[in-house]
Amino acid sequence: MTAAATPATPAAAAAAAYPVVRRQLDRDDMVMRAGLVVLIGWMLLTLVLPLWTLLSKSFHNQNGEFVGLANYLLYFSTPSLFDSVWNSLYVSVVTTVIVLPLAFVYAYALQRSCMRWKGLFQALALIPILAPSLLPAISLIYLFGNQGFLKELLFGGSIYGAGGIIVAQVFYCFPHALMILVAALSMADGRLYEAADVLGASKTRVFFTVTLPGAKYGVISAGFVIFTLVVTDFGIAKVIGGRFNVLATDIFKQVIGQQNFEMGAVVGFVLLLPAVVAFAANRITERKQVALLSARAVPLEPKREPRRDWLLFGFCALVGGLIAGILAMAAWASVVTRWPYNLALTLKNYAFSEFDSNGWSAYWNSIELASWTAVIGTVVVFLGAYLLEKTRGFAWGRGIAQFMAMLPMAVPGLVLGLAYIFFFNARGNPLGFIYATMTILVVNSVTHFYTVSHLTATTALKQLDGEFEAVSASLKVSLLRTMVRVTTPVCLPAVLDVSIYLFVNAMTTVSAVIFLYSTDTKPAAVTIINMDEAGFTAAAAAMAMCIVATSAAVKIVHLMLTRRFERTTQAWRKR
């Protein structure tokens, strides 16, 4: 700091006789700095450099000659391309506005009420996260499509287009928002509520002065996450969008359809704009966030209140019922012989080798991909979030890392995938050997799902007392040990959430991997698209069901683990 060289006051000037001191670094500082350098290096390799390669591609023509903004000018002067911008914004905003209140009330019911069957409702609401985004789209086609049995409800309207996209997106985004809001509502200081109660504040007032401010950060994050998910999702628009073009499908058309990589790069960078806004807004709210759960806070335990509990029960039953309905439709479709003519039940749609050359091996590829993503991703994300939240000094390094941790949320899977092609397939890249292997799929998935995981971990870390590290230092205990003994156990629920989030997303993602798989590593979700395109919609539904079942099984194990942890290691939460 140069502040002492240009003193702000006469007193400081007098003291300038003494030189500015710099704190010596101890082992913790070294470990922390080394960790941050590794983190930055990882993010440069897996995110920034690929994106940079992509950016430079958008300024070149197909022969590799630099053409400046020519590609961009062409893009903005072609209405068929440019209209997609408005289409994307429209479906994203509408979906966000619908999902946010639904998810908040649902999360509130799960965390702050004593309604029945909370476990069931939680599981039910998380089902969409277990499914590829293609599943609700396929279900809606069976329900309201040209041969759908509820088609009459649309009064001649068509499910193909904006309406279908929005309905499917609501289904798909709901659990993503719910996860963040549940986390935001899970930690609260019970004494605040007791205080408000004693002060005679009405229920509504308590809600608006205690509950909502406490969860504000979560609500805002959830809003950005939904918005960005919709803007960047590819599967739903591909299956049910019809002639309603959005940015994500445009990229696919440019790259796969017309082999116009340069224009694909341009569309990708247009897609980054809304995400940059989301990033900036998120940073501003983050700055206002303070630790809500100090070490002396008393965890809140909801009290019984029949009228409220039953109202919330009714709400959850309705939302949960709709989710179950959409899922059941896909399940039914997967075992029907020939919709809608022959409704006899059959398992022949599950004989995937009849419909796709990879058959069941695609399914096992997905399992492998998801497992590695969960393990590697959780370690990287939690360590990264810890380094950024709980250590001091090295400000510029942390600033860079923080920025890069938020960036993936802004990068659609398709764009990242495309960037990986350009970067890892480039001649002379020493890392080129991972191209077309499982490794590149894992690295891509970890990077693609980094931000939400990072936010989940950060939210949990923020809620810890800020003086734990100071106390450790005074007790001569290394940061690493405090991280292992205190920080991680206290954040264990969040750590588990992150790992499951990564597993399930890697299992269900289409957009992140569609440009990167090879014939040996083709994941299950991609075969859904392939089979749907080839007209084997029932087989596509069947594969979607396999993914859902797998993710659900993993999720159940997760729930059981969480419950056990709650009983053993989390006993301290009870008063």
Q: Which residues bind another protein (CB under 8 A)?
A: 1, 3-4, 7-9, 11-12, 14-29, 294-296, 298-299, 465, 467-468, 470-478, 481, 485-486, 489-490, 569-575
User: What's the Cα-to-Cα distance from 135 to each of 117, 159, 309, 432, 482, rounded to whole Å?
Assistant: 26, 15, 32, 34, 43
Q: Which residue lies nearer to another protein by CB, 348 or 481?
A: 481
Residue 265 or 461 with smaller CB distance to another protein: 461
CA distance 292 to 107: 18
CB of 477 to another protein, least distance (A): 5
* Stretch (H or E) spanning 92: helix 79-112
Instruction: From residue 102, give the alpha-carbon distance in Å to each of 75, 82, 107, 171, 174.
Output: 37, 32, 9, 11, 8
The least distance separating another protein from the CB of residue 214, rounded to whole angstroms, comes to 18
Q: Closest distance between another protein and the C-beta of residue 499, in Å?
A: 19
Q: Min. distance of Cβ 387 from another protein in angstroms? A: 17
CB 506 within 8 A of CB 369: yes
Nearer to another protein, 94 or 298 (CB): 298
Query: Closest distance between another protein and the C-beta of residue 28, in Å?
Result: 6
Among 539, 548, 537, 538, which Cα is nearest to 239's?
A: 537
Radius of gyration of the chain (CA): 25
Least distance between another protein and beta carbon 488 (Å): 10
Spell out the residues 6+ positions from residue 94 whose beta carbon is closer than 8 angstroms to its own. Answer: 166
Identity of the residue, 116 or 485, whose beta carbon is nearer to another protein in the bound complex: 485
Q: Which residues, 6 or more positions from 361, have their beta carbon under 8 angstroms from its beta carbon? A: none
Helix ranges (H only) for 113-189 are: 118-130, 134-144, 162-186
DSSP 477: -
Cβ atoms of 416 and 480 closer than 8 Å: no
Q: How far is the CB of 18 from another protein (least distance, A)?
A: 4
* Assigned token pair, 332: 């039914």
- Residue with Cβ nearer another protein (9 or 63): 9
Element (H, E) at 345: strand 342-345
Return the number of the residue (345 or 475) whose C-beta is nearest another protein: 475
CA gap 183, 473 in Å, rounded:
29
Closest CA to 526 of 351, 400, 272, 356: 356
Task: Return the number of the residue (321 or 393) whose C-beta is nearest another protein.
Answer: 393
Nearer to another protein, 23 or 288 (CB): 23
Question: Minimum distance from CB of 460 to another protein (Å)?
Answer: 13
CB of 5 to another protein, least distance (A): 10
Distance CA 509, CA 374 (A): 13
Count of all residues that appear for the chain in the document: 575
Classify residue 164 as exposed, middle or buried by CB count within 10 Å of its CB (0-12, 13-18, 19+): buried
107 vs 495 by CB, closer to another protein: 495
Identity of the residue, 241 or 493, whose beta carbon is nearer to another protein in the bound complex: 493
DSSP state of 365: H
- Minimum CB separation of residue 349 from another protein in Å reads 49
412: preceding bond cis by omega (within 30 degrees): no
- Helix 118-130, helix 306-334: angle, nearest 10: 40
Shortest distance in whole angstroms from residue 7 CB to another protein: 8
Please, which residue, 309 or 465, has the CB nearer to another protein? 465
